[in-house]
Amino acid sequence: MFERAEARIDPSAIASNIALLKKTSGTNLLAVVKADAYGHGLVEVSKIALNSGATWLGVALLEEALIIRKAGITAPILAWLVPPGSDFNSAIKSDIDIAVASLASFKEIIATGLRARIHIEVDTGMNRGGVDDEWNEFIKSDFSSVDVVGIFSHFARADEPSEKQNLQQLERFNEKVKDFPIKPQILHLSNSAATLKDPSSAFDLVRTGIAIYGLTPDLAHLGTSSILGLKPAMQLRAKLHLAKKVPAGSPVGYGASELTKSDTKLGVVAIGYADGIPRIAHEAGVFIDGKRAPIIGRISMDQFVVDLGADSTAKSGDWVIVFGDGSRGEYTADDWASASGSINYEIVTRIGARVPRIYGTHVY
């Protein structure tokens, strides 16, 4: 048992989310586990996802894919942010599928003399990754020494289902596929939002990230996790380092930026911005005694203070929930995102390595 803070990850929630996404899409599912599985734990979540019905794993970085391989996981892995100069030899020898977004990368892969499994990333209008201005030259390349496993692209606004750019990207994707001289084994385009809202883009594989962790891809346009049928998998909790009574008008924290409005009890929560708590957040807090306790004062590197209320029975050493699934009234990752002007992706992904991940049913 860790005695300061911990992120509890519920495997059954991830399994439930994957089942929902597979049922909705009617196709195969790639679990996106980049960025330490959005803060949930790279290797453990990879295993959970595969045991729950995912058939592929996806990462941004080659080093992430190599960690998965070193853990003994043999499922197909796609790495899509592998720029020129990367260790293509190790990728190919480790049976890692490589995304190709430029002629430069393709030429380096060919130069290894090894037979690589590649996925051609095409730019369909996001103007971020993918072959675009080199396309006409690229499709004239000799592909005989590689296995073209897939062609894929990425939506820019799938979390806004009514936006016409989504249909435009789908049409451009289909055009690029027709242009390509070789028929790939699979086509993939859908992210979490498209998987939930656009079955026409499912093709042979959907790439789902934020949704497998039970978080909505976009609160404003798609609604809450609950509305989407998703179950948040992470509960972040921490100990009260100290609980103490203070009089009205007491200054709190660095800069004395806030004063207590009345006689109250304060709680010092043993987690801070070094652990990934957004320093800018002011309208969030923790859950204890069956109610919310809001932040008061500035968030510090290792701790922050909450106003527990004069009638609180909380005591030093008690656990508080920083965020969870919201079912008991606690703050959610969406609440923390709103409080810091960000998105839920960032809230869970930024939780630092010194906060241990514990796998099992949430404990309240």
Residue 49: how many other CB atoms lie within 10 Å:
27
**Active site residue: 22, 34, 197, 231, which one?**
34
Average pLDDT score over residue span 214-226: 96
Query: pTM for this one?
Result: 0.96
Confidence of residue 364 (pLDDT cuts 50, 70, 90): very low
Does domain 234-359 fall under CATH 3.40.50.2000? My reply is no
CA dist 193 and 187 (Å) reads 17
pLDDT of residue 33 exceeding 80: yes
Residue 10: HSE in the Cβ half-sphere, 13 Å Cα cutoff: 20
Percent of the chain with pLDDT over 90: 98
pLDDT of residue 232 exceeding 50: yes
DSSP at 100? E
Average pLDDT score over residue span 38-56: 98
pLDDT digits (tens, 9 = 90+) for 240-282: 999 999 999 999 999 999 999 999 999 999 999 999 999 999 8
Structure tokens at 363: 């404990």
> 258, exposed or middle or buried, with CB in 10 Å at 0-12, 13-18, 19+?
middle
C-alpha radius of gyration, the chain, whole number? 23
* DSSP per-residue codes, 297-356: S---SS-EEEE--TT----TT-EEEEEB-STTS--BHHHHHHHTTS-HHHHHHT--TTS-
Percent of the chain with pLDDT over 70: 99
Residue 118: HSE in the Cβ half-sphere, 13 Å Cα cutoff: 26
Which residues of the chain form CATH 3.20.20.10? 10-214
Does domain 10-214 fall under CATH 3.20.20.10? My reply is yes
Mean pLDDT, all residues of the chain: 96
**Active site residue: 254, 261, 315, 364, which one?**
254
pLDDT digits (tens, 9 = 90+) for 293-307: 999 999 999 999 999
- Angstrom CA distances, 24 to 7, 13, 19, 219, 316, stand at 29, 17, 9, 19, 46
Structure tokens at 265: 């009890």
End-to-end CA distance of the chain: 15
Structure tokens at 193: 């939002």
Beta bridge partners of 305: 268
Beta bridge partners of 131: 122
Strands 28-32 and 205-208: parallel
Which residues of the chain form CATH 2.40.37.10? 234-359
Our answer to whether residue 22 is catalytic in this structure is: no
Our answer to whether residue 254 is catalytic in this structure is: yes
CA dist 247 and 242 (Å) reads 16
Closest CA to 347 of 42, 49, 38, 41: 38
pLDDT digits (tens, 9 = 90+) for 169-187: 999 999 999 999 999 999 9
Cα angle value 120/122/126 (rounded, 5°):
145
CA dist 98 and 131 (Å) reads 14
Average pLDDT score over residue span 81-110: 98
307 in helix, strand or coil?
strand
